[in-house]
Structure 1
Amino acid sequence: MPLYEHVLIARQDLSNAQAEGLIEHFGTILADNGGKVVDSEYWGVKTMAYKINKNRKGHYLFLRSDAPAAAVQEMERLARLHDDVMRILTVKVDQHEEGPSVQMQKREERRERR
């Protein structure tokens, strides 16, 4: 099955538990449609470059999935309809990187740019 990475931005007025609950919610949607969540991370509340729906900050959520295209399309459709999700970005990747994402790594642990 194809591999995907998803980044979701949720409203800033949610609690951390509610934001992390969105990961489980969208993970079950993928599982119900024949996919699975390989890894997930909660990146925390971050300031955005511009306002989205009158919000300056948002909860950032990251999912790595192994799912068919139909499952990803259904998850994206339901994410657009969900009141708490402001934006979603899905990228198809050739393989998932091992370990934490770059966002969660300490500056000393990151690879040098070439």
Structure 2
Amino acid sequence: MALYEHVFLARQDMTPQQVDQLVEQYKGILEANGGKVGRIESWGLRPLTYRIRKNRKAYYALMNIDAPSAAVAEMERQMRINEDVLRFLTTRVEAHEEGPSAMMSRRDRDERFGKDEDRPRRPRRPRDETPDEGEE
């Protein structure tokens, strides 16, 4: 069996529980066709670069899959039919990443620094202080 990373985007007006149900539905399709799903990450509601079917945001989800190509093809066929799925991408990989994905580690960094409040900044350059006219 081959290893895949699969990311899909779900509509913004769904609840996180409905997105989890979608993940479980597609996990069931893969397992029924002889595949296994490893790590599942929910990246949450994130803004889109451009509108997709009148949506400005979408729920992102990542699944690490170990399945035959027929199982992945069936899951993708079901996703094309489902109106709740905006986009999806399946990529074949040599090995699954250990630990959190790049998106999750980025979120951890943002939480550590409190978004923009506590993030270390470069020091400002001092302005040239020139005396006003008449002052010397």
TM-score relative to the length of structure 2:
0.77
Measure, in 1, the Cα distance between the counterparts of 2:100 and 2:37: 15
Aligned position for 1:9: 9
Identical-residue share of aligned pairs (%): 51
- Aligned-residue RMSD, C-alpha: 1.1
Q: Which residue of 2 aligns with 1:99?
A: 99
How big is the shift at 1:107?
A: 3.4
Partner of 1:74: 74
Tell me which residue corresponds to 1:36: 36
The separation in 2 between residues aligned to 1:10 and 1:23, in whole angstroms, is 10
Q: How far has the Cα of 1:4 moved from its partner? A: 0.2
What TM-score, normalized to structure 1?
A: 0.92
1:103-114 equivalent positions in 2, closer than 5 A: 103-105=103-105, 106-107=108-109
Correspondence for 1:86: 86
How far, CA to CA, are the matches of 2:72 and 2:65 in structure 1?
9
Question: Which has the bigger relative contact order, CA under 8 A and spacing at least 6?
Answer: 1
CA drift of 1:100 comes to 1.1
Structure 1: tracts of 5 or more residues without a match = 109-114
Q: Which residue of 1 aligns with 2:132?
A: none
Displacement of 1:83 in angstroms is: 1.4
* Cα distance in 2, alignment partners of residues 39 and 23 from structure 1: 11
Please give the secondary structure, in 2, of the residue aligned with 1:27. Answer: helix
SS in 2 for 1:89: strand
**Cα deviation code 1:47-80 (max 9, x no counterpart):** 0000000000000011000000000000000011
Equivalent in the alignment of 1:111:
none
In 2, the alpha carbon distance for the partners of 1:75 and 1:93 equals 18
Give ranges in structure 2 of 5+ residues lacking alignment. Answer: 111-136
